[in-house]
Amino acid sequence: MFLRQHRKKPPSDSPTTPGLSKTQSHRDKYVFCHFMVGNTYPYTTETFSMDIQTAQLANIDGFAMNIGQDAWTPSRIESFFTAVHKHPSFKLFFSFDMSIISDANTIVNYVMQYKDHPNSFRYRGKYFVSTFAGESQGFGHADPNEGWEIEVKQKLRLRGVEICFVPSFTGVDAWQMYNKFPVVDGAFSWAAWYVSCCLSVRSCKGC
């Protein structure tokens, strides 16, 4: 994962950034793992809590919740946030599966519903939002950059929410990301990049 305008962490006597906890404001590096909400149909609040405790034992800071739009997904998300409330230091953020989601309002509505939850992850005061794919999704606009800016970022901004948008746009090399997608604030890859020249680092030649 990488982010725009990455700077050294501020000194310990720096003021806390609004919207961040005191410990979170002085950190630039976190460890998250993907959590497939699509596999949680039988889960209860207690099951989510057990998974959180297991992650904490491995020094994981939070989960990136990969979600689609199954009819039961909203209730599992609600249970997830109920469970994580008992673990103050553990954070959650949405990783919207754009191979399934096609309506920008789905993203906006989830962010608005959980923007004030104390366990929602914020990076330097901004609500952290990610995706799986979405590089070709324009939400009715010809240019995906325009679609994400107007239908997601601007709509949330008008509601008082600034987001840190760090998608996993598949098939895009890391060094080309900002040129192709100025709408993003950062990026990560499930495949650790080397997209254009090979499928894996092991088989890569001349990279």
Residue 69 belongs to some domain of the structure: yes
Residue 140 belongs to some domain of the structure: yes
Domain residues for the domain of 97 are: 2-6+16-187
CATH code of the domain containing 43: 3.20.20
Q: Give the list of residues 6+ apart from residue 133 with CB closer than 8 angstroms, or none.
A: 97, 98, 99, 168, 169, 170
Closest listed residue to residue 165, CA positions, set 78, 204, 107: 107
Tell whether the torsion through CA atoms of 54, 59, 65 and 66 is positive or negative: negative
Residue 37: phi, psi to the nearest 5? -65, -25
Closest listed residue to residue 67, CA positions, set 161, 152, 131: 131
pLDDT at 27: 63
Confidence category of residue 25, pLDDT binned at 50, 70, 90: very low
pLDDT at 4: 57
Greatest C-alpha distance within the chain = 49
- What pLDDT digit, counting tens, does each position of 65-75 carry? 999 999 999 99
> Helix (H, G, I), strand (E, B), or coil: what is residue 77?
helix
Residue 192 belongs to some domain of the structure: no
- What pLDDT digit, counting tens, does each position of 159-190 carry? 999 999 999 998 787 778 889 999 999 987 76
- What pLDDT digit, counting tens, does each position of 28-66 carry? 789 999 999 999 999 999 999 999 999 999 999 999 999
pLDDT at 203: 33
Count helices and strands (H / E) in the chain: 7, 8
pLDDT at 187: 84
Residue 11 belongs to some domain of the structure: no
pLDDT at 142: 96
Confidence category of residue 206, pLDDT binned at 50, 70, 90: very low
Work out how many domains the chain is built from and give that number: 1
Residue 128 belongs to some domain of the structure: yes
- What pLDDT digit, counting tens, does each position of 101-160 carry? 999 999 999 999 999 999 999 999 999 999 999 999 999 999 999 999 999 999 999 999
Residue 91 belongs to some domain of the structure: yes
Work out whether strand 62-67 and strand 126-132 pair parallel, antiparallel, or are unpaired: unpaired
Residue 207 belongs to some domain of the structure: no
Residue 204 belongs to some domain of the structure: no
